[in-house]
Structure 1
Amino acid sequence: MDARAISLVRTTFKAVAAVEGGPEKLTSSFYAILFARNPQVRDFFPAAMDVQRDKLVAAIAHIVDQLEDLDRVLTFLAQLGRDHRKYGVVDAHYAAVGDALITALEQFAGAELWTEEVDAAWRDAIAVIAGAMMDAANADDGPPVWQGTVVDHIRALEDVSIVRLQLDQPMDYSAGQYVSVSIPSRPRMWRYLSPAIPANAEGQIEFHVRRVSGGWVSPAVVSNTVVGDRWTMGSPLGSMTRHTAEDRDRLLIASGTGVAPLRAQLMEMASRSVNARVHLFVGGKYPCDLYDLPTLQLIASTNPWLSVVGVVEDEEDPWWYQDHGPLAGPAPIVGQIGKVVAEFGTWSGRDIQIVGSPSMINTTKFRLQAAGVDLSFVHHDPW
């Protein structure tokens, strides 16, 4: 796509997003058109569409923002295409989705904004998006989904579960990637989770899940998961580890269950004889939120290249937490994790990975940039 077409696509989408309720109305219109024209595709989606609509807006916004960086966009789209194999999506479905999106955009934008040039720009963009997804999906010769049986469920905290599964066949993923997961009590409601251990030939996999207030899937995982449950997983996604050089020192920053993909990377590194230096900061609201700190400290105790620092915002646990005794090792630093990391040392030239909520990631990046860190060395997944 040329610069003019990219500008038209971006301007149109921003105009839609700027209208009060615009993204919600656009996605509602899109799905209504798609299902009316293609009733059979409704079975791909959950009964409640709120989360799905949010995901669609987030995906379009991410792609539109990155159109100048075509290589990055194509990598992202290729992963989406492989992941969409879990639904049973075929090439014809991409054409149907593209036509429905064009119709919804045209209806919402109106004749004044939706010119022939804008129409052509959006059709070019959709052709790029659909083509990249179809090519990746058709080139993938692995299974569209993996099935696994829950073999252990540990309530690390009242709102955090550690779930271990035995896959029917091993999944080949890079430590640090994430997969979409569907549980039996929430069919077709896919939730992205990061494995907390590296891929292995035995087909073992582990996830850390925090219950999200108002969420559909995470409360069911934390409260209702039992040994013997059968889970379904899609293809591995995420390119955060792709940017990391093995011989460059690293700074890893995580909050809450965001420690899972970083822990998987550390376990993988621990299997090698030589590694660059790694500083890991793990943050939480309370000391009890550092539920996996003992495991991380155990890894550090036998790997001198690794330093682990806990960070908490409150020095004491909440009144409702059942005390399990003080944390082993050095006491956590009290403060906001981004501020603590930025003031801890000089991180110039390090590969930096951040995993957490969008607000935590943005705040930490701001603190690091203010401390002189080049943000081109900072990596995180878009979702």
Structure 2
Amino acid sequence: MGLDDRDALQILRDAVDPEHGSDALIRDFYTHWFATDLTARDLFPPDMTRQRTVFARAMTWLFGELIDQRAEEPVAFLAQLGRDHRKYGVTQQHYDSMQEALLVTMRTHLGAGFTDRIADAAHEAVGLFVGVMRGAADAEQTPAYCDGTVIEHLRVTRDVSVIRLQLDQPLFYHPGQYVTVQVPQWPRRWRYLSPAIPADRSGAVEFHVRSVTGGMVSTAIVAETRVGDRWRISSPHGAMQVDRAGEDVLMVAGSTGLAPLRTLIMDMTQHGVNPRVHLFFGGRFPCDLYDLKTLWQIASSNPWLSVTPVSEYSTDPPWATDYPDPQPPRGLHVRQTGQLPEVVTRYGNWGDRQILICGSPGMVEATKAALIARGAPPERIQHDPLTD
């Protein structure tokens, strides 16, 4: 029965599900793969902990989609994954060896439970996953990545940097999309970043990076980036957008979550007619609202844009004097004090708006939950995939 055998697919889903104790299976899969294909190990960072977790979650979701007989989203996900994996140097040999290693590991861990029915479902499912990725990668004609040189590094707060690069060739992306970036301090560790300006034909690009506690790549970028560093940037992902012919817009940005929303706003300034946009920009301290001057400049000449600054605390810490003063001239809304979800929902549920939320996973989840609790339709809310 293969892919039509939901019971068999459920057994396979449970086998890879972290909630059902798949750690040993996933670890053995990578061990077997690296042992049978020595070149595969070079595709990954030294610490495989996060990679194993991400892989297990993805496999669990994919099997779940097969069980529910949904194809459109999994195929799109796998195709994008295949195109994106080109940046690692993945070859057809790697797809072959990965497929074989995964099937062998499943058979070993399920033991006598790996019946002919389970084997048929496993071969067809894994063959589908790998086939879509392989086909998308082989068909893609655009470069797998582009390189660029850091031309400016501005430390705008204690934990936020603005990094500007000149790329060797232009990178074309839609406003609101994100890319993955590899920096020289951490080869083979890619971090998601959102460009803070629309795509530039000359190859200029800007990123806003916040150092996250325990985040090796973000900490290295903020603390160690130097002019002249060479970065590698992948093809773009994501579909967050503003329907300019649609309803008015609510944007909620926490810290560097501002970057993709600012890109969308900058792109809107190139058009004569836009929906009204109300942006809440939040940080822990007033000094964390690092880009208020840019927002003031945009709002001063685009009356459809309103900006409300929000900080959790009303006063700055002593170290704020070591960094640029972000306060703009008068003209923006008065700064509000409190948590972003609470401040945003003071004004209602915004249920008649297009809603875009960007920031840390915790902030996005809390804001989304608060809006839905107030009555905002979930289908109106956009945000990028949440990652730890």
| TM-score under structure 2 length normalisation | 0.89
Helix, strand or coil at the partner of 2:268: helix
Q: Deviations over 1:111-131 (max 9, x none)?
A: 44x444334333333233222
- Give the superposition deviation at 1:110: 4.8
Match of 1:316 in 2: 315
Kindly report which structure 2 residues correspond to 1:20-39, keeping only aligned pairs within 5 A, or say none. 22-39=21-38
Kindly report which structure 2 residues correspond to 1:176-255, keeping only aligned pairs within 5 A, or say none. 176-241=176-241, 244-248=242-246, 249-255=248-254
Call closer, same or farther: CA 1:89–1:286 in 2, change over 3 Å: same
Are the equivalent residues in 2 in contact too, given 1:211–1:218 (CA < 8 A)? yes
Please identify, of 259-268 and 2-11, the stretch whose mean Cα deviation from structure 2 is larger. Answer: 2-11
Helix, strand or coil at the partner of 2:180: strand
- Give the superposition deviation at 1:4: 5.7
Match of 1:89 in 2: 90
Are the equivalent residues in 2 in contact too, given 1:79–1:238 (CA < 8 A)? no
Unmatched 5+ stretches in structure 1:
none
In structure 1, what is the Cα distance between the partners aligned to 2:154 and 2:373?
Answer: 40
Q: Deviations over 1:80-118 (max 9, x none)?
A: 111111122233322322222233344445544x44433
- Give the superposition deviation at 1:37: 1.1
Call closer, same or farther: CA 1:132–1:227 in 2, change over 3 Å: same
- Give the superposition deviation at 1:5: 4.4
Are the equivalent residues in 1 in contact too, given 2:282–2:311 (CA < 8 A)? yes
In structure 2, what is the Cα distance between the partners aligned to 1:108 and 1:336?
Answer: 47
- Give the superposition deviation at 1:263: 0.8
Please identify, of 283-292 and 8-17, the stretch whose mean Cα deviation from structure 2 is larger. Answer: 8-17
Match of 1:280 in 2: 279
In structure 1, what is the Cα distance between the partners aligned to 2:283 and 2:110?
Answer: 44
Give 1:138's aligned amino acid.
D
1:330 aligns with 2:328: no
Are the equivalent residues in 1 in contact too, given 2:2–2:124 (CA < 8 A)? no
Of 352, 357, 374, the match for 1:354:
357
Please identify, of 373-382 and 167-176, the stretch whose mean Cα deviation from structure 2 is larger. Answer: 373-382
Call closer, same or farther: CA 1:60–1:239 in 2, change over 3 Å: farther
Match of 1:266 in 2: 265
Are the equivalent residues in 1 in contact too, given 2:32–2:101 (CA < 8 A)? yes
Q: Deviations over 1:110-161 (max 9, x none)?
A: 544x444334333333233222222322222111110100000000112111
Call closer, same or farther: CA 1:123–1:226 in 2, change over 3 Å: same
In structure 1, what is the Cα distance between the partners aligned to 2:367 and 2:65?
Answer: 22
In structure 2, what is the Cα distance between the partners aligned to 1:211 and 1:100?
Answer: 37
Are the equivalent residues in 1 in contact too, given 2:290–2:326 (CA < 8 A)? no
Call closer, same or farther: CA 1:362–1:66 in 2, change over 3 Å: farther
Give 2:360's aligned amino acid.
S
Unmatched 5+ stretches in structure 2:
none
Give 2:381's aligned amino acid.
V
Are the equivalent residues in 1 in contact too, given 2:18–2:57 (CA < 8 A)? no
Q: Deviations over 1:283-303 (max 9, x none)?
A: 222222211122122211111
Of 373, 378, 381, the match for 1:378:
381
Moved over 6 A (4+): none
In structure 1, what is the Cα distance between the partners aligned to 2:22 and 2:200?
Answer: 41
In structure 2, what is the Cα distance between the partners aligned to 1:7 and 1:306?
Answer: 53
In structure 2, what is the Cα distance between the partners aligned to 1:230 and 1:164?
Answer: 12
In structure 1, what is the Cα distance between the partners aligned to 2:365 and 2:7?
Answer: 26
Helix, strand or coil at the partner of 2:39: helix
Helix, strand or coil at the partner of 1:274: coil
Give 1:38's aligned amino acid.
D
- Give the superposition deviation at 1:204: 0.4
Q: How many correspondences in the alignment? A: 378
Helix, strand or coil at the partner of 2:181: strand
Match of 2:342 in 1: 339
Call closer, same or farther: CA 1:220–1:129 in 2, change over 3 Å: same
Q: Deviations over 1:36-59 (max 9, x none)?
A: 111111111122223322332343
